[in-house]
Amino acid sequence: MNLFYFIAFLSIFFSLLVIFSKNPVYSVLYLIVTFFTLTIHYILLNAQFLAIVNFIVYMGAIMVLFLFVLMLLNLNEDSEPMKSNLIKVAGVVAGMCLLVTLVGSFRALGDSDPLILKNPEIGLVKNLGKVLFDEFLLPFEISSILLLSAMVGAVLLAKKDPKKI
Protein backbone atom coordinates (compact mmCIF):
# COMPACT_ATOMS: atom_id res chain seq x y z
CA MET A 1 0.00 0.00 0.00
CA ASN A 2 2.81 2.38 0.85
CA LEU A 3 4.53 1.53 -2.42
CA PHE A 4 1.66 3.18 -4.33
CA TYR A 5 2.03 6.45 -2.44
CA PHE A 6 5.81 6.46 -2.88
CA ILE A 7 5.55 5.88 -6.67
CA ALA A 8 2.74 8.46 -6.94
CA PHE A 9 4.94 11.00 -5.15
CA LEU A 10 7.80 10.24 -7.55
CA SER A 11 5.50 10.66 -10.61
CA ILE A 12 4.22 14.03 -9.42
CA PHE A 13 7.72 15.21 -8.50
CA PHE A 14 9.23 14.32 -11.88
CA SER A 15 6.25 15.68 -13.86
CA LEU A 16 6.69 18.99 -12.02
CA LEU A 17 10.35 18.93 -13.02
CA VAL A 18 9.27 18.35 -16.65
CA ILE A 19 7.33 21.59 -16.86
CA PHE A 20 9.65 23.72 -14.71
CA SER A 21 13.10 22.80 -16.02
CA LYS A 22 14.58 25.47 -18.28
CA ASN A 23 16.43 23.17 -20.67
CA PRO A 24 14.12 21.20 -23.01
CA VAL A 25 16.56 18.27 -23.13
CA TYR A 26 16.27 17.87 -19.35
CA SER A 27 12.48 18.06 -19.75
CA VAL A 28 12.55 15.06 -22.09
CA LEU A 29 14.79 13.10 -19.72
CA TYR A 30 12.49 13.83 -16.76
CA LEU A 31 9.52 12.83 -18.91
CA ILE A 32 11.16 9.45 -19.50
CA VAL A 33 11.47 8.97 -15.71
CA THR A 34 7.81 9.99 -15.28
CA PHE A 35 6.74 7.41 -17.86
CA PHE A 36 8.84 4.81 -16.06
CA THR A 37 7.01 5.48 -12.79
CA LEU A 38 3.70 5.17 -14.67
CA THR A 39 4.89 1.79 -15.99
CA ILE A 40 5.43 0.73 -12.37
CA HIS A 41 1.84 1.82 -11.65
CA TYR A 42 0.60 -0.46 -14.43
CA ILE A 43 2.61 -3.36 -13.01
CA LEU A 44 1.11 -2.70 -9.57
CA LEU A 45 -2.37 -2.88 -11.13
CA ASN A 46 -1.34 -6.21 -12.74
CA ALA A 47 -1.93 -4.74 -16.21
CA GLN A 48 1.14 -6.48 -17.61
CA PHE A 49 0.33 -5.96 -21.29
CA LEU A 50 -0.15 -2.22 -20.82
CA ALA A 51 3.04 -2.00 -18.76
CA ILE A 52 5.08 -3.55 -21.56
CA VAL A 53 3.35 -1.46 -24.25
CA ASN A 54 3.86 1.71 -22.20
CA PHE A 55 7.51 0.81 -21.77
CA ILE A 56 8.09 0.11 -25.47
CA VAL A 57 5.86 2.73 -27.12
CA TYR A 58 6.23 5.70 -24.77
CA MET A 59 9.70 5.25 -23.29
CA GLY A 60 11.09 3.78 -26.49
CA ALA A 61 9.47 5.15 -29.62
CA ILE A 62 7.92 8.47 -28.57
CA MET A 63 10.84 9.57 -26.42
CA VAL A 64 13.33 8.76 -29.20
CA LEU A 65 11.19 10.89 -31.51
CA PHE A 66 11.20 13.81 -29.03
CA LEU A 67 14.94 13.59 -28.38
CA PHE A 68 15.66 13.25 -32.09
CA VAL A 69 13.70 16.41 -32.94
CA LEU A 70 15.30 18.32 -30.04
CA MET A 71 18.79 17.33 -31.17
CA LEU A 72 17.92 18.00 -34.83
CA LEU A 73 16.71 21.52 -34.09
CA ASN A 74 19.66 22.09 -31.71
CA LEU A 75 17.52 23.56 -28.93
CA ASN A 76 19.09 24.31 -25.57
CA GLU A 77 18.76 26.68 -22.66
CA ASP A 78 20.00 29.72 -24.59
CA SER A 79 17.39 29.48 -27.33
CA GLU A 80 14.60 28.61 -24.90
CA PRO A 81 11.80 31.22 -25.11
CA MET A 82 10.44 32.06 -21.66
CA LYS A 83 7.14 33.68 -20.82
CA SER A 84 7.00 36.64 -18.50
CA ASN A 85 6.54 35.96 -14.79
CA LEU A 86 3.04 37.41 -14.79
CA ILE A 87 1.83 34.90 -17.39
CA LYS A 88 3.59 32.08 -15.53
CA VAL A 89 1.83 32.96 -12.27
CA ALA A 90 -1.48 33.28 -14.12
CA GLY A 91 -0.93 29.85 -15.72
CA VAL A 92 -0.14 28.19 -12.39
CA VAL A 93 -3.20 29.83 -10.78
CA ALA A 94 -5.42 28.65 -13.64
CA GLY A 95 -4.04 25.10 -13.32
CA MET A 96 -4.62 25.13 -9.56
CA CYS A 97 -8.21 26.34 -10.12
CA LEU A 98 -8.78 23.37 -12.42
CA LEU A 99 -7.30 21.03 -9.81
CA VAL A 100 -9.45 22.47 -7.01
CA THR A 101 -12.58 22.17 -9.17
CA LEU A 102 -11.80 18.55 -10.03
CA VAL A 103 -10.98 17.61 -6.43
CA GLY A 104 -14.10 19.38 -5.17
CA SER A 105 -16.31 17.48 -7.57
CA PHE A 106 -14.66 14.18 -6.60
CA ARG A 107 -15.25 14.99 -2.94
CA ALA A 108 -18.96 14.99 -3.68
CA LEU A 109 -18.66 11.31 -4.61
CA GLY A 110 -17.92 10.43 -1.01
CA ASP A 111 -15.62 7.69 0.21
CA SER A 112 -14.93 4.93 -2.25
CA ASP A 113 -14.23 1.26 -1.77
CA PRO A 114 -10.62 0.20 -1.63
CA LEU A 115 -9.28 -0.93 -4.99
CA ILE A 116 -9.44 -4.68 -5.21
CA LEU A 117 -8.30 -6.91 -8.02
CA LYS A 118 -11.59 -8.64 -8.71
CA ASN A 119 -10.14 -10.64 -11.55
CA PRO A 120 -6.33 -10.62 -11.42
CA GLU A 121 -6.05 -12.30 -14.82
CA ILE A 122 -7.64 -9.35 -16.63
CA GLY A 123 -4.53 -7.48 -17.71
CA LEU A 124 -2.64 -10.47 -19.04
CA VAL A 125 -1.92 -10.67 -22.76
CA LYS A 126 -4.06 -13.78 -23.17
CA ASN A 127 -7.28 -12.22 -21.86
CA LEU A 128 -6.71 -8.82 -23.41
CA GLY A 129 -6.02 -10.39 -26.79
CA LYS A 130 -9.29 -12.29 -26.63
CA VAL A 131 -11.22 -9.07 -25.97
CA LEU A 132 -9.25 -7.04 -28.51
CA PHE A 133 -9.71 -9.46 -31.40
CA ASP A 134 -13.29 -10.33 -30.57
CA GLU A 135 -15.27 -7.26 -29.50
CA PHE A 136 -12.86 -4.58 -30.75
CA LEU A 137 -11.74 -6.08 -34.05
CA LEU A 138 -13.10 -3.26 -36.24
CA PRO A 139 -11.56 -0.41 -34.16
CA PHE A 140 -8.29 -2.33 -34.19
CA GLU A 141 -8.32 -2.48 -37.99
CA ILE A 142 -9.27 1.20 -38.24
CA SER A 143 -6.42 2.19 -35.94
CA SER A 144 -4.01 0.62 -38.43
CA ILE A 145 -5.41 2.95 -41.11
CA LEU A 146 -4.96 5.85 -38.67
CA LEU A 147 -1.31 4.95 -38.14
CA LEU A 148 -0.74 4.61 -41.89
CA SER A 149 -2.30 8.01 -42.61
CA ALA A 150 -0.30 9.58 -39.76
CA MET A 151 2.90 8.14 -41.25
CA VAL A 152 2.09 9.45 -44.73
CA GLY A 153 1.15 12.85 -43.28
CA ALA A 154 4.34 13.11 -41.22
CA VAL A 155 6.53 12.28 -44.21
CA LEU A 156 4.63 14.73 -46.41
CA LEU A 157 4.88 17.54 -43.83
CA ALA A 158 8.55 17.10 -43.00
CA LYS A 159 9.63 16.72 -46.62
CA LYS A 160 11.23 19.75 -48.23
CA ASP A 161 9.17 21.53 -50.84
CA PRO A 162 10.65 20.33 -54.16
CA LYS A 163 10.09 23.68 -55.87
CA LYS A 164 12.28 25.54 -53.36
CA ILE A 165 15.38 23.39 -53.75
Partner 1 sequence: MESITNSIQGVPLNHYILFCAILFSIGVMGVLIRRNAIVIFMSVELMLNAVNLLLTAFSVHHGDASGQVFVFFVMALAAAEVAVGLAIIVMIYRNTSSTDINVLNRLKW
The interface with partner 1 within residues 53-92 (CB under 8 A) comprises 53-54, 57-58, 61-62, 65-66, 69-70, 72-73, 75, 79-83, 87-88, 90-92
State how far the Cα of 48 lies from the Cα of 145, in Å rounded to an integer: 26
Count of CB atoms situated within 10 Å of the CB of 30: 19
Interface of this chain with partner 1, residues 95 to 124, rule: CB under 8 A: 95-96, 98-99, 102-103, 106, 109, 111-120, 122-123
Q: How many residues bind partner 1 (CB under 8 A)?
A: 91
Interface of this chain with partner 1, residues 121 to 160, rule: CB under 8 A: 122-123, 127-128, 131-132, 135-136, 139, 143, 146-147, 149-151, 153-155, 157-158, 160
Check if the beta carbon of residue 8 is closer than 8 Å to that of residue 1. no
At its nearest, how many Å lie between partner 1 and the CB of residue 160? 8
Q: What single-letter DSSP state applies at residue 80?
A: -
State how far the Cα of 57 lies from the Cα of 158, in Å rounded to an integer: 22
Instruction: Map residue 112 onto helix, strand or coil.
Output: coil
Residue from the set 10, 33, 36, 41 that interacts with partner 1 by CB under 8 A: 41
Count of CB atoms situated within 10 Å of the CB of 161: 6
